[in-house]
Structure 1
Amino acid sequence: MTDPDKTPWLIPSDGFALYDALALLRVSFQFMDGRIDPPSSVHRLTVEGMQAHCYSGGEIWAIGRPLFACMFLTPKSDSLYLGKLAVKEGMRGQGICRTLVDHAAIRAAELGLPALELETRVELAENHRAFSRLGFTIVSTGSHDGYGRPTDFLLRKSINLSADS
């Protein structure tokens, strides 16, 4: 059996793969149910919402056909926001998350953005450790509307924008 192709590809805004990405996200984020408060926004995510993300300048990238990993990218004024990153259970531990983060860094550099940013919930210590290993640093805390305590961490990773990197 050969290794699957791990090259990221852009899901078109009208692509059927949006349905596959949504299904992967729902399954991959289930472990958070009952662990995080408020619940994950993935419960409110729809294909139409994913299309709107694409139409407004965001991108959804995937790995695999059929897909086994995905992430959302959203350009901000000073960073590229990486959200909704998921890797199928049986594919974890093979460097796929690193491949997606590395690809996000390439996209940030192409867009002239000096950093990647992402948010992870306070309760998900395993995510903090994983993203720390990938070069992210916690830079602030945030709270969802109606919460008087921190509910998430903002993590940031600087990107080398020089042409010789």
Structure 2
Amino acid sequence: MSDTLELRAATPNDAPALAATIAAAFAQYRGKLVPESGAFRETAEGIAAELAKGAGAIIAERNGLAVGCVMTKVLEGDLYLGRLSVLPEARGLGLAKRLVEAVEAEARARGLGGVRLGVRVVLTDNQRLFTSLGFRETGREAHPGFDHPTSINMRKSLDGSN
């Protein structure tokens, strides 16, 4: 049996697979992030509604089964990526990088200037990944109710400037 990996634009019909992939990928953070990740509140219905309103998603499938995904939306002239998710059994194969590259390709196709994301201050491995992919910190912010930064905003310019 051949092992095939395909990245494609998700549709509202993919919402259950997207929700399950996000839940499984973020499970390692349950009880470790303060405040808790909003990923734990994602539902198939909520994702389908967001897709119907114009948000986007890219799903990665191995042999027809979801192994990764990322959600997107236009924000301030850039494409924002969120909920970057790779199942534990699919990690270490460069899939996160491929998903980010797919978001960058989508941003370029739309004529947008860059790609943005937010990453928790405590997730230093994720920060290193995004920095290695060309993202730079643009600011920090606190979640509601916190008096110190809990999240780092990052951006990658697609025209080579930062």
What's the TM-score once normalised by structure 2's chain length?
0.92
Q: 1:22 aligned to 2:13?
A: no
Further displaced range: 66-75 or 17-26: 17-26
Listed one character per residue, the Cα deviations across residues 78-113 of structure 1 (whole Å, up to 9, x for unaligned) are 210000011111111111111111110111111111
- Give the 5 Å matches for 1:132-143: 132-143=131-142
Q: Please list every run of 5 or more consecutive structure 2 residues that lacks an aligned counterpart in the other structure.
A: none
Calculate percent identity across the aligned residue pairs: 28
- Matched with 1:63 is 60
State whether residues 109 and 160 of structure 1, in contact with CA within 8 Å, keep that contact through their aligned partners in structure 2.
Answer: no
Q: Distance in 2 between matches of 1:56 and 1:143?
A: 27
Q: 1:10 aligned to 2:9?
A: yes
- Give the 5 Å matches for 1:120-139: 120-139=119-138
In the alignment of these two chains, the number of paired residues is 158
> What displacement does 1:3 show?
3.3
Q: Which amino acid aligns with 1:122?
A: V
Q: Distance in 2 between matches of 1:40 and 1:22?
A: 14
- Matched with 1:46 is 43
Listed one character per residue, the Cα deviations across residues 130-158 of structure 1 (whole Å, up to 9, x for unaligned) are 11111111110011111111110001111
State whether residues 59 and 74 of structure 1, in contact with CA within 8 Å, keep that contact through their aligned partners in structure 2.
Answer: yes
Q: Please list every run of 5 or more consecutive structure 1 residues that lacks an aligned counterpart in the other structure.
A: none
Q: Secondary structure at the match of 1:100?
A: helix
State whether residues 18 and 50 of structure 1, in contact with CA within 8 Å, keep that contact through their aligned partners in structure 2.
Answer: yes
State whether residues 57 and 75 of structure 1, in contact with CA within 8 Å, keep that contact through their aligned partners in structure 2.
Answer: no
State whether residues 18 and 44 of structure 2, in contact with CA within 8 Å, keep that contact through their aligned partners in structure 1.
Answer: no
Q: Secondary structure at the match of 1:98?
A: helix
- Matched with 2:112 is 113
> What displacement does 1:8 show?
1.4
- Matched with 1:82 is 81
> What displacement does 1:62 show?
0.4
State whether residues 15 and 45 of structure 2, in contact with CA within 8 Å, keep that contact through their aligned partners in structure 1.
Answer: no
Q: Distance in 2 between matches of 1:49 and 1:70?
A: 16
What's the TM-score once normalised by structure 1's chain length?
0.90
4+ residue stretches of structure 1 with deviation over 4 A? none
State whether residues 35 and 123 of structure 1, in contact with CA within 8 Å, keep that contact through their aligned partners in structure 2.
Answer: no
> What displacement does 1:34 show?
2.4
* More strand, by proportion: 2
